[in-house]
Amino acid sequence: MYEVIEKRKLLPDGTEISTYTREVISANILEVEAGTTGYMGGDSGHGGRTYFRISDCGSTDMEVRTFVDRHGCNGFEVFLGGDCELETTIRALKFITKVLEDESKEVYD
């Protein structure tokens, strides 16, 4: 088992949301945090916000780059090195998915 910590996060637009944080531990250590307001009935103008973060807390071979493509769209890419990085990233992404599904207040089949 692992400890999940509930926090409050102030987003850049001033929205405050509940987030959930945990550590993912192997030969490397990640901290992962995620939260959402859930569905709010439309685009961001309706107040829907989603947030997630993955941080290296020790020995993670990780590089993150932001980019703007030829159409002016923003994105990011993640490069990982090592078997443990693959393992802990899978576990981190599963945690993010679970938090966002649980907090979206929707039923999934």
pLDDT-based confidence at residue 107 (cuts at 50, 70, 90) = low
pLDDT tens, residue by residue, 62-99: 999 999 999 999 999 999 999 999 999 999 999 999 99
Could you give the dihedral angle defined by the CA atoms of residues 94, 96, 102 and 103, in that order, rounded to the nearest 10 degrees?
-170
pLDDT tens, residue by residue, 13-51: 999 999 999 999 999 999 999 999 999 988 888 999 999
Give residue 105's pLDDT. Answer: 79
Contact indicator for 56, 63 with CB cutoff of 8 Å = no
Domain boundaries, the chain: 5-103
